[in-house]
Amino acid sequence: MPGSLPYLALGDSYTIGESVAEAGRWPCQLAAALRARGVALSDPRIIATTGWTTDELWAAMDAAEPLGRHELVSLLIGVNNQYRGGNLGEYRVEFADLLDRAIALAGDRPGRVLVLSIPDWGVTPFGQASGRDPAVIARQLDDFNAAAADECAARGVAFVDITPVSRERGAEPGMVAEDGLHPSTAMYAEWTRLALPVAARLLG
């Protein structure tokens, strides 16, 4: 049963779980896994839509106010900034602003915020057929993730790197949704496996 501790999940298609059932989304899998460990976490309130960039997530959060205070806030954002050719410096500034806002929504507790890295979409069937160089995609995403990790480290926010597993297994048929781009429930389970011990530690 859903618990009583509120959880807010912020992001884009990777958080809303494009092409998978609601229970298959990684924030929902994470909440269920934490409840199985005895943490009374609620199912997440998700503010995320496929295609959102950092500034679009910010605007959506404005529209959703008041958001209240949460025991856990997760953030995964940036793939669409990279996909659209966005500037790395702008991403860093906008990600930092979102991170500060996430901390505020967690009751000004950096230790209740969890950030996931951006997966590498270049390895997917969609990415391979996109006409774009997978090596360039990988380098750009590494730069975006390094910027996010730096901002997290500066604030004492947990950063979970799911990019390696996205690269190792993202081309496997069972790890990608029917659209050939987004993760399957099984891939989200891999992300949950990596995030679970960190979230459990944050929630004490």
Report if residue 125 sits inside a domain: yes
Write the pLDDT tens digit of every residue in 10-62: 999 999 999 999 999 999 999 999 999 999 999 999 999 999 999 999 999 99
Residue 38 domain boundaries? 7-202
Report if residue 2 sits inside a domain: no
Report if residue 1 sits inside a domain: no
Average confidence score pLDDT of the chain = 97
The CATH number assigned to the domain holding 162 equals 3.40.50.1110
Residue 111 pLDDT class (50, 70, 90 cuts): very high
Q: Which residues contact 40 (CB under 8 A, 6 or more apart)?
A: 3, 4, 5
Q: What is the average pLDDT across 134-150? A: 98
Q: How many domains does the chain divide into?
A: 1
Residue 3 pLDDT class (50, 70, 90 cuts): confident
CB neighbour class for 36 (10 Å; exposed up to 12, middle 13-18, buried from 19): exposed
Name the pTM for this structure.
0.97
Give how far Cα 6 sits from Cα of 38, 39, 43, 72, 150, Å.
15, 11, 8, 7, 27
Report if residue 167 sits inside a domain: yes
